[in-house]
Amino acid sequence: DAGVTQSPTHLIKTRGQHVTLRCSPISGHKSVSWYQQVLGQGPQFIFQYYEKEERGRGNFPDRFSARQFPNYSSELNVNALLLGDSALYLCASKTAGTGSNSPLHFGNGTRLTVT
């Protein structure tokens, strides 16, 4: 059984560019969340989607956006990249909706470096 898969695994971008990160949840999982993990810190919540609708947004600027597709895969987009956007971007999925304590399963992340 495949876990949460993220692509690409590594990415190097220049300041001002745009980036799209992709995530495929575990089969049957309808809820996808995105987290940003800066080196040496815990993950910070960016977005949550359930049934293709945004259900939560963290304290991130409007340069960050996301969407969920009919097959429950998801994309995270970041515009006008800043050096401070360099981080590990984690996608996580779970079976049930936003109020559920069902376990959150993480992918191995996309390591974004902005130069």
Partner 1 sequence: QQQVKQSPQSLIVQKGGISIINCAYENTAFDYFPWYQQFPGKGPALLIAIRPDVSEKKEGRFTISFNKSAKQFSLHIMDSQPGDSATYFCAASEAGNNRKLIWGLGTSLAVNP
Query: Interface with partner 1 by CB under 8 A: which residues?
Result: 4, 33, 35, 40-45, 48, 55-56, 58, 90, 92, 98-101, 103-109
When the beta carbons of 18 and 54 are compared against partner 1, the nearer one is: 54
Closest contact distance (angstroms) between CB of 15 and partner 1 is: 25
What separation in angstroms does the CA of 35 have from each of 1, 23, 84, 104? 23, 12, 15, 12
- Contact residues for 4 (Cβ-Cβ < 8 A; gap 6+): 23, 24, 25, 26, 91, 92, 93, 105, 106, 107
When the beta carbons of 15 and 76 are compared against partner 1, the nearer one is: 76
When the beta carbons of 14 and 40 are compared against partner 1, the nearer one is: 40
What ranges in 10-85 are assigned the alpha helix state H?
none
Closest contact distance (angstroms) between CB of 30 and partner 1 is: 14
Closest contact distance (angstroms) between CB of 35 and partner 1 is: 8
